[in-house]
């Protein structure tokens, strides 16, 4: 329903961890991702017992809960924050505080819900939770980030 926002994301398919955005407004976002059984990180993490690395769980949470919401806030005409989005813009995660409660296995679908805490001067801070298909809490945390403009040197 809100998947047109995905065209603004700066990730290629091998590092895009969003399948669907099901809710999106100025206060939050909900989206999901199904972990591919053949993802590159399962081969060695762990041999014969693959588990999704915490850094990938954190990345999924950041992409859906922070980057998608941040881009939405910027392109929705919310210019009060003093930030504009252009082709040279990219998101930067500036801080996380994440707690993990359950493992995520290959092939599992996870649902990420983010609630905006504040968006000021181009900085976004969110409370983000990830649940599995059984609605069990997998991870939660506070994430913050900013949108920066790329400087290309010739």
Dist CA 43 CA 41 (whole Å)? 6
- The yes-or-no answer on residue 131 being catalytic is no
Instruction: Compute CA distances 121 → 81, 140, 148, whole Å.
Output: 5, 25, 12
Instruction: Compute CA distances 104 → 59, 75, 139, 153, whole Å.
Output: 13, 33, 10, 41
Contact indicator for 109, 32 with CB cutoff of 8 Å: yes
Catalytic-role residue among 6, 45, 140, 144: 45
Residues taking part in catalysis: 45
């Amino acid at each position: 329903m809100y998947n047109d926002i995905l065209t603004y994301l700066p990730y290629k398919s091998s590092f895009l961890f969003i399948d669907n955005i099901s809710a999106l407004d100025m206060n939050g976002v909900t989206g999901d991702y199904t972990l591919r059984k053949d993802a590159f990180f399962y081969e060695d993490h762990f041999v014969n017992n693959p588990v999704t690395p915490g850094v990938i769980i954190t990345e999924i949470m950041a992409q859906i809960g922070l980057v998608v919401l941040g881009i939405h806030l910027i392109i929705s005409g919310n210019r009060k924050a003093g930030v504009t989005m252009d082709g040279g813009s990219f998101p930067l995660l500036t801080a996380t505080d994440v707690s993990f409660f359950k493992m995520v296995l290959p092939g599992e679908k996870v649902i990420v819900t983010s609630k905006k805490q504040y968006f000021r001067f181009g900085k976004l801070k969110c409370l983000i939770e990830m649940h599995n298909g059984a609605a069990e809490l997998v991870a939660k945390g506070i994430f913050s980030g900013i949108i920066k403009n790329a400087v290309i040197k010739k």
